[in-house]
Amino acid sequence: MPELQLRLAPSAALRWEGAGPASDRPAMVLLPDLYRTRGDYDRAVARLSDHGQRVFTPDRLSEDLDEAIADLERFLDDLAESVVLAGHGRGGAVAAAVASRRPGQVTKLLLIDAVVSEADAAAGLAESVARSLPVAVLWGRDGEFDPGAGYRTVRGALGGAATFTVPGSHDWPIERPASFGFALRTVLAEPAGVSG
């Protein structure tokens, strides 16, 4: 996979890797959950790229939310093309915050078992909905966390967003990469406002 090196402060280097062919559709930027690395998603990314989706993933996310947001903003500045932002767990909070700031660049927001606080939901998600950004929520119904609370927070902030529940825990994207790839391809093909 080709690798993109961001120009950051000398003490920090966040590497982004891309997989899949260039095409006329937007690339996907897949943000991992906190304490996960790009390697945890390699099998799912391979499934997506095998089906023609170009995907970029960072090697990791910063533990600091503001730093993670800034890292993604710098990458998107360097990439300078339309993208679908997909965030798993804490990556969903980063994706939601950045999507609302990039109305001309982010074409769709995918929240995958996203860990988004009520404050984040009220700010970034409401702003994204206000500008008619297509948003889809994918949720593992068998999660070890209280999926109901997080799911209700995200769903409440989004109103009629497309929502997909799948069998599996919070880590279903990693544990079931074929299902994850299929779910993302399905969601990418869905028009805004369709629930499944």
Query: How confident is the model at residue 58, as a pLDDT?
Result: 92
Query: How confident is the model at residue 191, as a pLDDT?
Result: 57
Q: Report yes or no: 176 and 168 within 8 Å, Cβ to Cβ.
A: yes
Distance CA 173, CA 166 (A): 10
* Mean pLDDT, contiguous 10-residue spans, the chain (196 residues): 42 72 89 89 89 90 88 92 92 88 89 71 59 77 60 64 78 87 82 44
Query: How confident is the model at residue 74, as a pLDDT?
Result: 92
Query: How confident is the model at residue 9, as a pLDDT?
Result: 39
Query: How confident is the model at residue 75, as a pLDDT?
Result: 93
pTM of this structure: 0.81
| Sheet containing 135-140, strands listed edge to edge, beginning at the edge strand earlier in sequence | 3-5, 15-19, 55-58, 27-31, 83-88, 106-112, 135-140, 162-166
Query: How confident is the model at residue 124, as a pLDDT?
Result: 62
Query: How confident is the model at residue 129, as a pLDDT?
Result: 58
Out of 3.40.50.2300, 3.40.50.1820, 3.30.450.40, 3.50.50.60, the CATH code matching 13-189 is 3.40.50.1820
Amino acid of residue 1: M
Residue ranges per domain, the chain? 13-189
Query: How confident is the model at residue 2, as a pLDDT?
Result: 46
- The pair of structure tokens assigned to 195 is 């629930």
Query: How confident is the model at residue 11, as a pLDDT?
Result: 33
